[in-house]
């Protein structure tokens, strides 16, 4: 059979909005593959022989967005590997990407012909909720950016660079917004309704 073209949902929202949590729940119920750009970068940072380890390390600690050449390759490989192992796995949740203009341009130049973006799933909550959740998680996460100093920078980057990308998609009618300030199950109920409507 002919391989299907990858179908992508971009999952965006502030730091700690619940992107990863909700993606894990979507994977449990639907045939999606979850690719978190942040997780892929953290794994690449630890990989023996990676030439980008130190760069990724310092960008993440500073809440800055890693140059897209690095991220797009990790995402592309993740998608290709998934589809090579199982042709039926052509639906992807791309979590935490694209975060800025550079990311968007990188996606367009490398992936535009190779994948269809269906819409942006936007987890919307206040900065305070984001900060509280990340600080709480920071007690045990071991993430180098779950501290007040890094969080301030992550929020700044989100407001300055990522919100404009969400607005761009919004203007094209491509954003599906979920109120992410509620409980995990309440948020997921909305996510489910939305995915079932979109088909
Ligand atoms: N939690 C979740 N949902 C909850 C709810 N409804 N009620 C109460 N608590 C809830 O959740 C965060 C915490 O909140 C957890 O403890 C969870 O139990 C709880 P999570 O699901 O992990 O939220 P998520 O939105 O995934 O938060 P995350 O911290 O992963 O978001 P970020 O966007 O900040 O992090 P990411 O890993 O995507 O990126 C990290 C860094 O990598 C970036 O700052 C950047 O430096 C770099 N990066 C790039 O450079 N380029 C990229 O393309 C991607 C990342
Ligand atoms: Mg995450």
Report the nearest-CA residue for atom 40 of ligand 1.
38
Alpha helices in the chain (DSSP H): 19-29, 37-46, 53-61, 68-85, 101-111, 127-141, 148-157, 163-171, 184-198
May I ask the CATH class of domain 7-186?
A: alpha beta
Over residues 131-168, the pLDDT tens digits come to 999 999 999 999 999 999 999 999 999 999 999 999 99
Report the nearest-CA residue for atom 27 of ligand 1.
16
Dihedral of alpha carbons 21, 22, 24, 28, sign: positive
ipTM exceeds 0.90: yes
* Best residue among 14, 19, 54 to mutate for probing ligand 1, ranked by most atoms within 8 Å of CB: 19
Q: Tell how far the Cα of 155 is from the centroid of ligand 2, in angstroms.
A: 14
Closest CA to 120 of 11, 23, 13, 195: 11
**Whose atoms come closest to the Cα of 191: which ligand?**
1
Has 73 been labeled as part of a binding site? no
* pLDDT score at 1: 58
Spatial contact of 35 and 144, defined as CB atoms under 8 Å apart: no
What percent of the chain is modeled with pLDDT above 70?
A: 99
Spatial contact of 32 and 91, defined as CB atoms under 8 Å apart: yes
């Amino acid at each position: 059979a002919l391989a299907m073209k990858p179908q992508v949902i971009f999952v965006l929202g502030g730091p700690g909005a619940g992107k990863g949590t909700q993606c894990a729940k979507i994977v449990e119920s639907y045939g999606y593959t979850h690719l978190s750009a942040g997780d892929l970068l953290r794994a690449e940072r630890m990989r023996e022989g990676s030439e980008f380890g130190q760069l990724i390390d310092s960008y993440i600690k500073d809440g800055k967005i890693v140059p897209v050449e690095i991220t797009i390759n990790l995402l592309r490989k993740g998608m290709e590997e998934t589809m090579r192992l199982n042709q039926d796995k052509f639906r992807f949740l791309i979590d935490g990407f694209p975060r800025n203009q550079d990311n968007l341009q990188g996606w367009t130049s490398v992936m535009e012909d190779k994948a269809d973006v269906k819409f942006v799933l936007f987890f919307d909550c206040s900065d305070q909720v984001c900060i509280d959740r990340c600080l709480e998680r920071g007690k045990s996460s071991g993430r180098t950016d779950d501290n007040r100093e890094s969080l301030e920078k992550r929020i700044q980057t989100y407001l300055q660079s990522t919100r404009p990308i969400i607005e761009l998609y919004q203007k094209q009618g491509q954003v599906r917004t979920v109120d992410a300030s509620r409980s995990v199950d309440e948020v997921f109920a909305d996510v489910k309704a939305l995915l079932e409507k979109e088909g």
